[in-house]
Amino acid sequence: MPAYHAHAAQRPLQPALPKGSLVVITGATGFIGSHTASALLAHPNNYRIRCPVRSEEKAAGLTSYVEKHFGKGRLETPLVKDMAAPGAYEGIIDDDVKGVIHLATDVSFGETWEVIENSKAGIENLLHTISKHPSVTRLVLTSSSVALGQPSSVPRSKFDPAHPAKVWDHDTWDDEMPTFARQQADKQAKGEETDKTPGKLPMAMYATSKILSERAAWEWLEDTKRSNNLTFTTVHPNATLGEPILPKGAASIPGEWLWSLYKGETATYDSASPQHFCNVRDIAKAHVAAIARDDVGNERILGFTGPFGWSDCTRVLIRDFPDKKGIIAAPKEGDEDTIDATLVKNARFKELCGGSLIGFEESVRETIQGQIKSGAKQDTKA
């Protein structure tokens, strides 16, 4: 086991946060972040949240949703324009704060090492501020499936769940992507040509940002005395489906890919590998469990529900949206109908969600219907 994760399971767990505790949530106006904020406010412990935002417009949308569903007085939205800037969390995290959920990250999918630097700076700034406030006893970091590795696409006809292409568990890390990203960044610095495979370089930089940010957090816990009174948990969502809940709220990137298939565009087949899906409501539950349950912490929670292929999506869409017949992209057939052949040990995730996870077909429907309902997308026949 890598050093940055070696002793986590041996540390004593801090008690779950008591009723009425104040929790800082970064990235709360995003797709997963808004669901996490909502789920935390819905918890019977009557938590309060402080959500730094980059603009007044984002603050207004979040405030409108929270006050409509949970009333006034439980949300603060301080303005922080650059969360990677030194001292960004000073005044955001103070001695009143008991827990932190860090979802904010660089999702620009840029092609330079700056993506990694921005993401690491954000988590390092956060940890530096937390180190000054022992009142914070629970920290949750939203990592990603890409911290474990990349999916293994195989034709559905050759898929055998009893013989997976690879097996992932909470000790799995992707060491290949950071090496590749560093090599490409070095080539850029020298003016040399980089890898031209479509989408590979942006994904490498994004994946490396998640991997190195998570490692930085585990390493910080190993090196600081705060590890004795701070319970740390990471959550690793894969392709997250579901309904946006904020006004005109965007879906996840997989939700955007699904929408393109719904509109008859086929680029998703070529640009996005089959993966494991999860529903955003289940991912939110995992985040809340890491704040509110005594028995959760010092671990990596793998947010994977089950494997799927993009043709699975179009089959559900064609069946459930019959008025779009002839518009929705046709499913692939034969060897072009692919699925992710990775086996993920997700029993802990399932247990944290009450023993069952939201299914694939329901998640696909929610993703399309939710984007229309939120006003993020306009549904037309064309």
For the segment 314-347, what is each residue's pLDDT rounded down to a tens digit?
999 999 999 998 999 999 999 999 999 999 999 9
Measure the CA–CA gap between 62 and 284, rounded to whole angstroms: 16
Number of folded domains in the chain? 1
Task: Give 380's pLDDT tier (boundaries 50, 70, 90).
Answer: low
Q: Is residue 377 part of a domain?
A: no
Q: Is residue 135 part of a domain?
A: yes
Task: Give 224's pLDDT tier (boundaries 50, 70, 90).
Answer: confident
Measure the CA–CA gap between 208 and 213, rounded to whole angstroms: 8
Establish how many alpha carbons lie within 13 A of residue 173's alpha carbon, considering only the half-sphere containing its beta carbon.
19
Q: Is residue 382 part of a domain?
A: no
Measure the CA–CA gap between 98 and 22, rounded to whole angstroms: 6
> C-alpha distances in angstroms, 348 versus 206, 219, 245, 345?
26, 23, 26, 8
Q: Is residue 378 part of a domain?
A: no
Q: What is the DSSP string of 33-77?
A: HHHHHHHHHHSTT--EEE--BSSHHHHHHHHHHHHHHH-SSSEE-
Q: What is the pLDDT of residue 3?
A: 45
Measure the CA–CA gap between 120 and 84, rounded to whole angstroms: 8
Residue 57 burial class via C-beta count within 10 angstroms: exposed 0-12, middle 13-18, buried 19 and up: exposed
Residue 163 predicted with pLDDT over 60: yes
Q: Is residue 43 part of a domain?
A: yes
Measure the CA–CA gap between 248 and 376, rounded to whole angstroms: 4
Residue 167 is classified by DSSP as E
Highest mean pLDDT among 19-23, 82-86, 193-197: 19-23
C-alpha angle with apex 31: 28 to 32, nearest 5 degrees? Answer: 70
Q: Is residue 380 part of a domain?
A: no
Q: What is the pLDDT of residue 47?
A: 98
Please tell me whether residue 155 adopts helix, strand or coil conformation: strand
Q: Is residue 153 part of a domain?
A: yes
Please tell me whether residue 236 adopts helix, strand or coil conformation: strand
Q: What is the pLDDT of residue 228?
A: 72
Q: Which residues contact 248 (CB under 8 A, 6 or more apart)?
A: 61, 374, 375, 376
Residue whose structure tokens are 């939203």: 142
Q: What is the pLDDT of residue 6?
A: 55
Measure the CA–CA gap between 29 and 61, rounded to whole angstroms: 8
Measure the CA–CA gap between 373 and 244, rounded to whole angstroms: 9
C-alpha angle with apex 360: 359 to 365, nearest 5 degrees? Answer: 105
Parallel, antiparallel or unpaired: strands 97-102 and 22-26 = parallel
Which tens digit of pLDDT belongs to each residue from 141-153? 999 999 999 999 9
Q: What is the pLDDT of residue 1?
A: 38
Q: Which residues contact 211 (CB under 8 A, 6 or more apart)?
A: 146, 147, 173, 174, 177, 178
Give me the CATH number covering residue 202. Answer: 3.40.50.720
Task: Give 381's pLDDT tier (boundaries 50, 70, 90).
Answer: low
Establish how many alpha carbons lie within 13 A of residue 155's alpha carbon, considering only the half-sphere containing its beta carbon.
6
Residue whose structure tokens are 């894969």: 238
Which tens digit of pLDDT belongs to each residue from 65-79? 999 999 999 999 999
Establish how many alpha carbons lie within 13 A of residue 68's alpha carbon, considering only the half-sphere containing its beta carbon.
10
C-alpha angle with apex 122: 104 to 230, nearest 5 degrees? Answer: 90
What is this structure's pTM? 0.94
Give me 174's structure tokens. 């992707």
Task: Give 10's pLDDT tier (boundaries 50, 70, 90).
Answer: low
By residue range, what is the domain housing residue 225?
A: 3-372
Measure the CA–CA gap between 17 and 292, rounded to whole angstroms: 6
Residue 334 is classified by DSSP as G
Report the C-alpha dihedral over residues 44, 48, 52, 57, rounded to 10 degrees.
80
Q: What is the pLDDT of residue 79?
A: 95
Closest CA to 340 of 150, 200, 148, 151: 151
Query: What is the length of the chain?
Result: 382
Parallel, antiparallel or unpaired: strands 138-142 and 153-155 = unpaired
